[in-house]
């Protein structure tokens, strides 16, 4: 409940402030490298979730009593 309220209260000003802080901390040259790493991490996570779902589906079809 509290998390959804916090997420809904984030405005474009908050996002802009966070973006400026990230730019100041890491600089313009490091940000694309960070985003590439973040994107590959998200892709690996999604692939792992899909693989786990496939394993669950395969095991549930093998154990069906019908």
The tens place of each residue's pLDDT in the chain, 66 residues long, gives 566 666 678 888 998 999 899 889 888 888 889 889 999 999 999 999 999 888 887 777 766 555
Give the separation between CA 18 and CA 15, rounded to whole angstroms. Answer: 5
CB 31 within 8 A of CB 22: yes
CB 31 within 8 A of CB 23: yes
For residue 63, the 8-state DSSP code is T
Confidence (pLDDT) at 64: 55
SS3 sequence of 2-15? HHHHHHHCCCHHHH
Confidence (pLDDT) at 57: 78
């Amino acid at each position: 409940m509290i998390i959804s309220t916090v997420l809904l209260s984030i405005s474009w000003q908050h996002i802009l402030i966070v973006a400026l802080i990230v730019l100041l901390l890491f600089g313009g040259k490091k940000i694309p490298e960070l985003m590439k790493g973040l994107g590959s991490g998200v892709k690996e996570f999604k692939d792992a979730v899909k693989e786990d779902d496939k394993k669950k589906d395969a095991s549930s079809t093998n154990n069906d009593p019908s």
